[in-house]
Amino acid sequence: MKTVIVTACPSGIANAVLAQGVLARAAETLQWAVNFEVQSTFSQFDTLGGNDISAAELVILVGPVMDKARFNNKRVYQAGVGQCYENPVAFLEKAQEEAVVVSSLEEITELPEGVVSECRRIVGITACPTGVAHTFMAAEALEEEARRRGEWIKIETRGSVGAKNQLTAEEIASADLVMIAADIDVDLARFDGKKLYKTSTGAALKKTAQELDRAFAEAEIYHHTAKAASTSSNTEERMGVYKHLMTGVSHMLPLVVAGGLAVALSFIFGIEAFKVEGSLAAALMNIGGGSAFALMVPVLAGFIAFSIADRPGLAPGLIGGMLASSTGAGFLGGIIAGFLAGYSAKLIAEKVPVPTSMAALKPILIIPLLASLFTGLVMIYVVGGPVSALMSALTDFLNNMGAANAVLLGALLGAMMCFDMGGPVNKVAYTFGVGLLGSETYGPMAAVMAAGMIPPLGMGLATLIARRYFTAPEQEAGKAAMVLGLCFISEGAIPFAARDPMRVIPSCVAGGALAGAISMLFSVELMAPHGGLFVLLIPGAISPVLPYLFAIVAGTFVTGVVYAGLKVMEGRRLLNATAA
C-alpha cells in the first residue's frame, strides 16, 4: 500500500524521529511503500512532494502535524506519538481500517469509539525518579492522545529542574479527571475531592490510549488523609516499597550531584589543598563533603518516610536519617530509618485513637513525637551498631578488593544498568552507586554511569555498522539515541528494545558488563551521579579520564558490533526465506 506518514514532536524532534523509526520497521513488515516527513520545531525539514501525496492511498498523521490542508480529500488517520510505540504493526493496520476521506482536516469531528463528544478536562502530574526522560515523554504522550480525542489537558511535570507547567487552583477545580503518572510519591493534597487515577510513567508512555480509557472508567474520588497512601493489596504494597525508596532517592539526588561536584572542584587546587584552613579549596570541601553529603542520608530517610506516611512521617524520617549518619550506618541505615519512621508514623495515624479535642494535635505533635522516639531508639540501640559495622566492612571491601572482585562487581553493576534501561533492576544498581558516594567510595558510581551510557550509544553504532540493514528512519533514531547516550539517558535505546528485545537486551547487557568491569579494573572514580560525558567539563570529577573513556568506547563497540551482527544474520535469513 502506498502510504504517507508524517510525524511531529511538539517539544522538538526526538519523538518524531523515534516514531518514524518504529513505524518504518512496521511498514517494512507489512510490505507497505511509505514516504515519511519528520517535522521539527527547531529547524527546517524536508517536506513531502506533491507527487508523493497524490499517489498516496493512505495518510497517517502522528503528533501535532503542521500544514494539514495539503492532505484534504485523502484517506487520513490521526494519532498521538505515544500510540505507535507499543505495537506499531497493529497501529498501522488500525490506521488502514479507520482512516476516512475528509474534505477539510480542520473540520474533523469524529472521535474514536467510546469517547464522548463533549470536551472533558484533564489535569495531571508526571514524575520519575531521575526526572529526566520518562517524566517529559509520558507528559507529551498523554497530551497528544488527549488532544487527538478532543479533550482539554494540562500536565504538570515534576522533573529534575522542579515543577514545570504548574496547575492552578482554578484548573484543578474545573477538571473532570486527575491523572497521576508517577514512579515516585507526589503530594496529592490539592486534588482532594477530585476523580483521580494513578499509573506509572512507563504505562502512560507505552499504553497511552489504554491508560486514558482506564482512567475515565476506573478513577475514584480522592480523599486526602493520612491513610491515603495506603494500598489495597499485598501486591500493591510490594510495589509501594520500591516507589517509597525511589521517592527518597529522587530527593537525595540533587544533594549528591551538588556535593560531588563541589568536592571535585576543591581537588583542582590539589588533592589535599582543602586541609589549608581558610582556603577556597577548604570552603568547597565544606560545602560539598561537610554540608551536602551530610544532608544526603537524612533527606533520603525523610522522604522515604514522607512517601509512606505523608507530612507526619517527614520529621521522624529526617531524625532517623541523621542518626544513621551519626552512628556510621550510612545510606543502608538511612533506608532502614526511613521505612521505620514511615511505617511507624502510618501505624500511629491509623491505629492510635485520640479524643476529638486533640485531633488537630495528632499530625503535628503526637505522630512526629512518638514515631521519632521509636525510630530514634531503634536506630541507636538496635540498628545503628550492626549496620554501621556492615557499612564499614562494605567500604573496606570496596576500597581494598582485588582486581578479580572489582571486575566481577563492575560487570554485575553494568549488566544491571543495561538490563531494563530505567526499570527497577537499573534503579537498584544506580541507587547502590549513589549511596556509596556519601561514604567516599566513588568507584561503583563510575562503573554505573559508564554502563548506563552503553545501550543508546551501542544502538547508534549498530545503525552505522550495519547501515543497509536498518531503514532510514531507524538510522535517524540511532543518531538521536547516541546524543541521549552521551547525556547518560539510557531510555534512548528503549524504542530499539521495544521492537527487538531478544537481540537488543543481550547486546546491551554484554557491552554494559564490559564497560563496568573495565571501569572498576582501572579504579576509575566519579564524583557526580549524573551528566554523562559532560561531567568531563568539571576538572577532577572523573579520574583517571582515559581508562574511563576506554571503558565507554569498549562497551559501545561490543554492543554495537553484537547487535549489528545479529541484524545482519536476521536480514540474510529473511532474504533467503524470500528467495526460497
The residues annotated with a catalytic role in the active site are 9, 128
In this structure, what are the phi and psi dihedrals at residue 328, rounded to the nearest 5 degrees?
85, 15
Q: Are strands 152-159 and 162-164 parallel, antiparallel or unpaired?
A: antiparallel
Give the whole-angstrom CA distance, residue 447 versus residue 156: 33
Cis peptide before 544 (omega within 30 of 0): yes
Query: Which alpha helices (H) appear in 198-233, and where do they start and end?
Result: 201-206, 208-218
Contact by Cβ (8 Å): 518, 487? no
Contact by Cβ (8 Å): 480, 516? no
- Assign residue 187 a region: left if phi > 0, alpha if psi is -120 to 50, beta otherwise? beta
Give the whole-angstrom CA distance, residue 188 versus residue 230: 13
Give the whole-angstrom CA distance, residue 470 versus residue 198: 38
Task: Kindly state the cell numbers that stand for 348.
Answer: 500511629
Q: Which amino acid is at 563?
A: Y
Give the whole-angstrom CA distance, residue 519 versus residue 559: 16
Q: What string of H, E and C letters represents the secondary structure of 102-141?
A: CCCHHHCCCCCCCCCCCCCEEEEEEECCCCCCHHHHHHHH
Give the whole-angstrom CA distance, residue 570 versus residue 243: 39
Contact by Cβ (8 Å): 438, 256? yes
Contact by Cβ (8 Å): 302, 321? yes
Task: Kindly state the cell numbers that stand for 53.
Answer: 501525496
